[in-house]
Chain A
Amino acid sequence: MPSDYLLACIGGPLLAILLLHGRGRRLFVALVGGMFAAFLCGAISGFLARMVQYDAMAAVLYISPLVEEGMKMVLFLLFLFVCRLREAELPEIAVGIGIGFSLLESIALLFTAGEWQLIVLFSKAFCSALIHVACALMLILSIQTIRRMAMETVSGYLGVYAVTVTVHALYNLLVSQAGISLILGYALPTAVIILWKFTPRIQRTN
């Protein structure tokens, strides 16, 4: 991924980090962190794809999910151990990282879009945000649950990482073809986010 993309969208959030304090600042740090992670992922995925001689589609299906979710996980663990976040702040950080990640991807999408209609471009960027936020939420909430339940941390984290990689890879696979598969692909992250929103309510009802 060319560095111009990162420079094009990092100015405003950086200013916000300088001006804000407390939770607002942390949110923008997560956003910028997500952008940096996306930038690094582009470079790493490209390098790995060239190394194993994969074409663009194979790289999207087999390499990108592994690298992207790995970078997100590293970022979460940094946030978790460096900032010592409270439980209520975790979803905000997850959303910040996911949005930052998808923002840079959307910029890249815009540059490579060509003749796409505006509405198609918007829906692609929106759904890219959905999957990144959904995976980020899954990662951070599962990591928190593993810590709370005092499970074996390293294998637990790797197991959660495996879940998010598979969800991401399944999404990439489904949206790679038009028709019902595309709709199912877009429904996948939406279902994850709906489940996250409504689980506390269902638990309270029970």
Chain B
Amino acid sequence: MNAMTILYEGLHCLFCAWLTYWLIGKTIAAPHHPMLYATTVAVVCLLLGDAYWLAHLIIRGNVPEILSACDVAYVGMWLIFHAALPRPQKLSGRQAALAALMGVFTVLNGVGWTVWTQHWLLNLIWTIPLFLLAVRSALLLDVRLNSLRGYLFLPLPGLLLAAETASFLWPEFWDSLNVLCAILWLCSLMLFAWLLKGKAPFRQLPIPAWMLLMVYCECASLLSSDWAYFVFQVLLAGTIGCFARIVGKEGEPLYAL
């Protein structure tokens, strides 16, 4: 356990504590707003997971074992986000195509985590809520994959799959492939955000699109190591922070998708 990880977890915990405090104030002021309530509970989950991790390190002198309360809390966050999304009413080909893409993407990530960590149960528990959230969010979005943005984005997940597979197959090139994977993840994340936003300004990104970005950041961080892991975790925290700010400030209009 290095100092960088402890510092990061401490700062992350402080950030979540501040966000929780702000969101609880907003929820008390507007108690019948489902997405605000769900976001508050989800951020509380994140805070509790961080607090447990730090408390375990301080009290027991080591990090929690696999499948501890931390994992339960983080998985709970994704489940709460999924619970807050409405059921899709009408299905079009575009929605189905994006949902299929995101479903395959999260399942392949789950396979990658299992191959890497050898913990199939833990990774199954992580993959299911991420898969559900990604698919439902995609079903609520009207994104054209057969556009210039789509054509630019689509090769990148394939390249990522190839690079990640190569890093597992040839461990002697692990370091250089790791850097390549991190760059590919970052490029694909930016192109994905560009694809999701369409022609509207970034601040008008609909709620399911924010959810997809969060899932993407989580997948990127879980398949990265060293500095890349922290970069994607910071991006995830930033995405959750932006999302919470939008839900807290603009409220109900954004819930109407």
- Residues on A facing B (Cβ under 8 Å): 58, 61-62, 65-66, 142, 145-146, 149-153, 155-156, 158-163, 165-167, 169-170, 173-174, 176-177, 181, 199, 202-203, 206
Contacts and interface: CB of A to CB of B under 8 A. Distances in A.
Chain B, interface size: which category? Answer: 35 or more
A63 B90 CA distance: 43
A151 B33 CA distance: 11
Contacts of A160: 41, 76, 80
The 4 closest A-B pairs by CB, nearest first: A162-B76, A169-B69, A156-B83, A159-B80
Interface in B5-31: 28-29, 31
B1 interface: no
B112 interface: no
SS of B interface (majority)? helix
Nearest to A165: B72
Contacts, number: 106
B32 interface: yes
B59 A173 contact: yes
Interface string B37-49: 1100110110011
A166 B28 contact: no
B65 A163 contact: no
A107 to B, nearest CB: 26
A170 B51 contact: yes
Contacts of A163: 41, 44-45, 48, 73, 76
B118 interface: no
Nearest to B45: A163
Interface of B: 28-29, 31-32, 34, 37-38, 41-42, 44-45, 48-49, 51-52, 55-56, 58-60, 64-65, 67-70, 72-73, 75-77, 79-80, 82-85, 87, 129, 132
19 contacts: A62-B65, A62-B67, A142-B41, A151-B38, A151-B83, A151-B84, A155-B132, A159-B80, A160-B76, A162-B45, A163-B48, A163-B73, A163-B76, A165-B73, A169-B72, A173-B52, A174-B55, A181-B55, A203-B31
A169 B51 CA distance: 11
A159 B41 contact: yes
A152 B65 contact: no
Contacts of A151: 34, 38, 83-84
A162 B82 contact: no
A159 B55 contact: no
Contact of A149 (B34, B65, B67): B34
A79 to B, nearest CB: 21
A149 B38 CA distance: 10
Contacts of B67: 62
Contacts of A176: 59
Given A174-B59, A206-B29, A162 B37 contact: no
A167 B48 contact: yes
